[in-house]
Amino acid sequence: ETTWRWQEENKEALESSNEYVKRNGLPLAKYRLF
């Protein structure tokens, strides 16, 4: 219930973040060691 509510409240921000990653890749990807 709590997780679902949080996801609903933050749906717009999550979609915006996912769209950014689709267009630009992960912001810190060059620092990943795996």
- Indicate whether 6 pLDDT > 90: yes
pLDDT at 3: 93
Distance between start and end Cα atoms, the chain: 34
8-31 pLDDT tens trace: 999 999 999 999 999 999 999 999
pLDDT at 17: 96
pLDDT at 34: 80
pLDDT at 22: 97
pLDDT at 12: 98
- Indicate whether 1 pLDDT > 90: no
Angstrom distance (rounded) from CA 27 to CA 25: 6
